[in-house]
Amino acid sequence: MSIKTVSTQPFTDQKPGTSGLRKRVKVFQQPNYLENFVQSIFNSLEGYQGQTLVVGGDGRYYNRQAIQIILKMAAANGFGRVLVGQGGILSTPAASCVIRKNKAFGGIILSASHNPGGPDNDFGIKYNISNGGPAPEKVTEAIYSHSKEITSYQILAAEDVNLDKLGTSQLGSMQVEVIDSVTDYADLMASLFDFDLIRKFIADGKLRMCIDSMHAVTGPYAIAIFEERLGAPIGTVQNGTPLEDFGGGHPDPNLVYAHELVEILYGEGAPDFGAASDGDGDRNMILGRKFFVTPSDSLAILAANAKLVPGYGSALAGVARSMPTSQAVDKVAAKLGMDCYETPTGWKFFGNLLDAGKATLCGEESFGTGSNHVREKDGLWAVLFWLNILAVKQQSVESIVKEHWQTYGRNYYSRHDYEEVDAEKANTLMTNLRSLVPTLTGKQFGQYQVAYADDFSYTDPIDGSVSQKQGIRIGFSDGSRIVFRLSGTGTQGATLRIYLESYEPDVAKQNLDPQQALANLITLSDDIAQIRQMTGREKPTVIT
């Protein structure tokens, strides 16, 4: 085995987005494209020689080939040991768990999350730091800087590693250990939740559930936890075999793309509980019988009921939410007397709060919820948290949610996504909005008076770093909000997201359909931003 130094030239499009670098598979398959980015990661790091790296991905197309390249480059660049998931599989939260448990220097996670997979679809790569969380902006900016200047990369000339056989092998002077992808993560879950209580709840016939892994990474985890450890009937987990193209589906756990699960939970003889996960296992959707729980409500309900769960029985240190996420959890924090932090979108912004003990639970409206147990959002963790609450309270999902609204009020909330919009048009729309911001405060739009308008900027309370232009907020005097931002997770064109929220404390008015309750705000958002005129779209691609 010998180390080769390969001459290369920079690519101009390797700037990481909200969660790493995401492109079409064919882009990553270009000669030197993946290698350049991996070498740029290594070039941006210091002190990793002889240290441990964790590698794994969601099993999508090109996952195995990419891992072989990364292993050989890690060996050539001086890592001492790599832990890689069996078959190249590691869910994103499991990768964070493995990094933390083994005190690894960091990890490389291969995923494009909820984006479709297959040879004509998406692939992604991101670097996680030693706390198990996504690299902060200063690290991703350093990676990008190196990607613009790279002239060569190092790779070991060696045979491929057998990723399917558990055990240790040697790759040059580096040790490669293929690990069980599931056990460490499942053990961590068992330490947080009352598995005995949940197991009894299921055995007594008080809970019938359906878990949809959408042919993505959580299949093996869900089968091991729900069917094997908690005793749910075989078949509780559907679409549980990870496939390179996710079975031709879109592994995004929402009401549109998880339609199989929605049809089951809204059909005749529906089970009591349903949940879906996304491509890499960090997102979740929670359903009751003919009842959908918004991610924003889910975060608030977990915070309000955390005392019922063994791993969170003592007081929470605080909670945090991304700026576009509804303010439902704010109401819980205020009532329970704890701090609530508002951050930009992107799980990396929660890392410092969690590390500093300022927050225990975190959540994003984009179906991501998590806690200080790892440094990523965690889909199956959220499902288990709900099951633990259900087992204690012995109530339906719907009754728990409605009881919560009676106590805290209901935050009507919806997100409208316009996907694959022409990027120039989308950026012009946002530029126009930014120019309007200084003129909006005090203006009257029908029943709504603007109380504030800004382009959200965040100063990290721990390290003082500043993140600007994180989304345009328009807040009204009655507590309603409209938020506009461009997503950083797409690979084609731009995704324009509009977030709409209104607060309803009156129990008698809490049973409207959200689109009905928010109808005036929806119309107003189009009037202010000129969405149809600017994008040419008559309606959103996805409404959640």
Report, as residue numbers or ranges, the catalytic residues: 113
**Cβ-proximal residues to 523 (8 Å cutoff; 6+ apart), any chain:** none
Cα 220 from Cα 237, distance rounded (Å):
9
Question: Distance of alpha carbon 467 from its chain centroid, rounded?
Answer: 19
CB–CB of 122/22 below 8 Å? yes
CB–CB of 322/346 below 8 Å? yes
Question: Distance of alpha carbon 465 from its chain centroid, rounded?
Answer: 22
Question: Distance of alpha carbon 312 from its chain centroid, rounded?
Answer: 21
Stated as kind and residue range, the H or E segment containing 532 is: helix 531-535
CB–CB of 124/112 below 8 Å? yes
Residue with tokens 């991996």: 38
Cα 33 from Cα 61, distance rounded (Å):
16
Q: Which of these, 538, 25, 519, lies nearest to 245 by C-alpha position?
A: 25
Residue 60, token pair as written in the block: 């999508």
Cα 531 from Cα 511, distance rounded (Å):
29
Q: Which amino acid is at 313?
A: G
